[in-house]
């Protein structure tokens, strides 16, 4: 399952559901060509792991294909963010953690900076970091990680199997309830074999998905530090456990900035998994009160790279002299990941919103076409799917393998799944904000749901209660996003709905979002390109009442059944079939109003950085495998573009 980092909201350290895979190979092929070997009977011993056994990089790989192995080390990269923070501890519900505050911590299997994917040119392939190899039996009933004896925390103490055991148990005892409940069901026992070997046992009779990768990505914390300090995992604090990663905390100025420095004594700097990565001496994050001040600070050179998501800013804001002079580079870079399923999420725990007709009526008030043309410069496409523009995206009516899969679920599947095409967003008139045709459709839906219009134009039920809805919104959001939501709310009001757009500061927003104190909220779910037990925490009933990663509180027996069935898939083809069905059913459940997406990364940066000519499909990697060009930086300073 997942354990959070904190950004605008807590974000998961994944149970590593197998989202993406590079195809299905027989195990003997992976043994011969991917550097995996059979030993001790039927046990597999390998330098890495993927569910299907296929690994792109052999045991003797020297570096990932997409990195520059000769990338220089040095310099600083500086980012800007909007909001506040009062903690440097990212693994608790309490407080707001500083940006990138999980960057110090490593795990048995390796990943990118701030828990991004590594390698970024394939998905669902994991390679040893704290562990030099792993072994598991044919039935994957257990796994042993053999750790690197040279691994050290930043305070110089060794990282041992005892620290991994301690971290695993600490997450169970003091971590998120949704995480702990799920993991206890799946991982009943952990055993320290010696200082550098640890064994995890898995529950019999359950899917083998997301088990080895789950324990492989538990963050390594210092048992010694926790015991000496008496610190708790579930508390907000600025002093944190030392990590073993390439970066460590440099400076913390609460609500103003935080910076991390590359550890000059980092134990793993020469490992093949790290070659060409972790190139900056300093990663700095500047905090701002709103998006406008953040952008002005970027123009002034207070921070040096910006990943843009505001279409208005991208279309009109980058017309200042530093762009014209070439001091700032503005470019679109390809993004191979499916877009984040973001949108206006319905809180299904609210009685009013349990009626799907009410949700559909409210959704009809959103005019994507007008919004995109009038406010977003026509730069976006409208998202329909939870796995948009991939082979897993459901289209039209279910046929073939997907139809057979759904039929195998019996009476759980409503007839409309078979007779109606996969749900796609409604269309609207781009020429005017209020589409009268959609207003009529919405009005009929509300009438049918028992919310009639009274003499004053207010929707009321049979008991005379008004249809009243609260929309929670983060006041530090970009002006364009705020404008979109204000126009949406205006349209909802024309339906006779008493809707309030409640703008609160980042701290209140985080607290209320965690408590689900809203009817509507602008939020997101996780995209997927494959199955994994993490899907239960995000979309399933298992933790629907309290999971931070299921903001709608979706609890559907059909969704549960699809996830359970997908976990039993033995081929990539079967996995794709199940995920297509999941996409179809999630869209049928109608838990959010889907918004927009773009196919590229929009990035602007001061021309002092280098990056690989080809950006890997699944990661922009500016904190991971970009590098600092000292000569270009000197030229910028000589020109007065940077201080």
CB 209, CB 68: distance < 8 Å: no
And the tokens for 493?
Answer: 């009001």
- The pLDDT of residue 37: 53
Residue 571 has pLDDT above 60, yes or no: yes
In this prediction the pTM is 0.84
Q: Give mean pLDDT, residues 61-77.
A: 98
Q: How confident is the model at residue 11 (pLDDT cuts 50, 70, 90)?
A: very low
Buried b (16+ CB within 10 A) or exposed e, 372-391: bebbbeeebebbbbbbbebe
E strands present in 148-240: 189-194, 197-201
Range in 40-49, 312-321, 328-337 the model is least confident about: 40-49
Q: Give mean pLDDT, residues 153-166.
A: 98
- The pLDDT of residue 33: 33
**CA max distance for the chain:** 80
> CA-to-CA distance for 507 and 278, rounded, in angstroms?
31
Q: Give mean pLDDT, residues 563-574.
A: 93
For the chain, the structural domain boundaries read 3-71+106-236, 342-597
Residue 10 has pLDDT above 90, yes or no: no
Residue 433 has pLDDT above 80, yes or no: yes
Superfamily per CATH, domain 342-597: Dipeptide-binding Protein; Domain 3 (3.10.105.10)
Residue 8 has pLDDT above 60, yes or no: no
pLDDT digit string (tens) for 374-392? 999 999 999 999 999 999 9
Question: CA-CA distances (angstroms) from residue 493 to 220, 428, 429, 457, 488?
Answer: 51, 17, 18, 10, 9
Q: How confident is the model at residue 144 (pLDDT cuts 50, 70, 90)?
A: very high
> CA-to-CA distance for 225 and 221, rounded, in angstroms?
8
Q: How confident is the model at residue 317 (pLDDT cuts 50, 70, 90)?
A: very high
Q: Mean pLDDT in the chain?
A: 91
Residue 31 has pLDDT above 60, yes or no: no
And the tokens for 48?
Answer: 């890495």
Q: Give mean pLDDT, residues 76-97.
A: 89
User: Using CB atoms within 10 A of its CB, is residue 21 exposed (0-12), middle (13-18) or buried (19+)?
Assistant: buried
E strands present in 150-281: 189-194, 197-201, 247-253, 257-262
Q: Which residues pair with 142 in a beta bridge?
A: 201
Percent of the chain topping pLDDT 90: 81
pLDDT digit string (tens) for 510-558? 889 989 999 999 999 988 989 988 899 899 998 888 888 999 999 999 9
Q: How confident is the model at residue 41 (pLDDT cuts 50, 70, 90)?
A: low
> CA-to-CA distance for 161 and 220, rounded, in angstroms?
9
Phi, psi at residue 620, to the nearest 5°? -70, -40
> CA-to-CA distance for 42 and 578, rounded, in angstroms?
30
pLDDT digit string (tens) for 606-622? 999 999 999 999 999 99
Question: CA-CA distances (angstroms) from residue 528 to 54, 55, 234, 422, 525?
Answer: 19, 20, 29, 17, 10
CATH topology of domain 3-71+106-236: D-Maltodextrin-Binding Protein; domain 2 (3.40.190)
CA dihedral 110, 113, 117, 121 (to 10 degrees): -100
Range in 36-45, 121-130, 242-251, 267-276 the model is least confident about: 36-45
Q: Give mean pLDDT, residues 274-297.
A: 96
What 8-state DSSP symbol labels residue 87? B
Residue 97 has pLDDT above 60, yes or no: yes
Q: Give mean pLDDT, residues 333-354.
A: 95
Q: Give mean pLDDT, residues 49-67.
A: 95
- The pLDDT of residue 9: 31
């Amino acid at each position: 399952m997942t354990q959070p980092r904190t950004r605008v909201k807590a974000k998961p350290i994944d149970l590593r559901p197998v989202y993406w895979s590079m195809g299905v190979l027989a195990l003997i092929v992976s043994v011969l060509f991917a550097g995996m070997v059979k030993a001790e009977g039927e046990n597999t011993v390998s330098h890495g792991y993927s569910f299907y056994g296929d690994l792109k990089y052999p045991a003797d790989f020297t570096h990932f294909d997409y990195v520059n192995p000769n990338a220089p080390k040095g310099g600083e990269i500086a980012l800007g963010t909007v909001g506040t923070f009062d903690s440097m501890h990212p693994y608790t519900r309490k407080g707001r953690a500083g940006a990138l505050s999980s960057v110090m911590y490593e795990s048995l299997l390796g990943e990118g900076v701030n828990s991004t994917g590594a390698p970024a040119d394939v998905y669902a392939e994991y390679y040893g970091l704290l562990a030099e190899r792993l072994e598991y039996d044919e039935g994957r009933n257990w796994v042993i990680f053999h750790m690197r004896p040279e691994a050290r925390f930043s305070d110089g103490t060794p990282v041992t199997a005892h620290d991994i055991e301690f971290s695993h148990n600490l997450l169970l005892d003091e971590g998120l309830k949704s995480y702990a409940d799920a993991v206890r069901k799946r991982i009943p026992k952990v055993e320290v074999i010696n200082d550098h070997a640890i064994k995890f046992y898995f529950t019999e009779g359950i899917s083998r998905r997301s088990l080895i990768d789950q324990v492989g990505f538990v963050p390594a914390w210092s048992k010694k530090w926790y015991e000496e300090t008496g610190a708790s995992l579930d508390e907000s604090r600025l002093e944190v456990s030392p990590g073993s990663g390439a970066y460590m905390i440099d400076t913390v100025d609460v609500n103003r900035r935080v910076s991390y420095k590359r550890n000059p004594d980092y134990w793993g700097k020469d490992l093949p998994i790290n070659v060409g990565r972790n190139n900056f001496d300093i990663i700095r994050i500047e905090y701002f009160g709103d998006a406008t001040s953040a952008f002005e600070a970027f123009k002034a050179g207070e921070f040096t790279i910006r990943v843009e998501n505001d279409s208005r800013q991208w279309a009109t804001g980058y017309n200042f002299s530093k762009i014209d002079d070439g001091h700032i580079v503005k470019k679109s870079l390809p993004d191979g990941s499916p877009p984040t399923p973001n949108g206006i999420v319905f809180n299904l725990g609210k009685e009013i919103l349990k009626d799907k007709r009410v949700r559909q009526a409210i959704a009809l008030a959103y005019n994507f076409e007008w919004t995109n043309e009038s406010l977003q410069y026509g730069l976006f496409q409208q998202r329909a799917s939870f796995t948009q523009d991939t082979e897993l995206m459901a289209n039209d009516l279910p046929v073939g393998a997907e139809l057979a899969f759904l039929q195998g679920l019996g009476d759980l599947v409503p007839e409309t799944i078979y007779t109606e095409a996969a749900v796609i967003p409604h269309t609207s008139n781009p020429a005017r904000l209020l589409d009268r045709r959609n207003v009529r459709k919405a009005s009929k839906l509300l009438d049918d749901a028992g919310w009639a219009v009274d003499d004053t134009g207010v929707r009321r039920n049979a008991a005379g209660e008004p249809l009243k809805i609260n929309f929670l919104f983060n006041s530090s959001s970009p002006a364009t996003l705020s404008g979109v939501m204000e126009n949406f709310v205006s349209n909802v009001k024309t339906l006779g709905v008493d809707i309030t757009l409640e703008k609160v500061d980042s701290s209140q927003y985080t607290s209320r979002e965690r408590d689900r104190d809203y009817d509507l909220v602008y939020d997101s779910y996780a995209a997927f390109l494959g199955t994994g037990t993490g899907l239960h925490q995000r979309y399933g009933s298992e933790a629907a009442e309290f999971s931070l990663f299921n903001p709608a509180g979706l609890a559907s027996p059909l969704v549960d059944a699809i996830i359970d069935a997908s976990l039993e898939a033995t081929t990539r083809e079967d996995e794709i079939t199940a995920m297509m069905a999941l996409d179809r059913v999630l869209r049928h459940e109608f838990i959010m109003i889907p918004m927009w997406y773009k196919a590229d990364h929009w990035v602007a940066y001061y021309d002092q950085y280098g990056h690989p000519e080809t950006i890997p499909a699944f990661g922009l990697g500016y904190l991971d495998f970009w590098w600092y060009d000292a000569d270009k930086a000197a030229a910028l300073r000589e020109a007065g573009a940077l201080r």
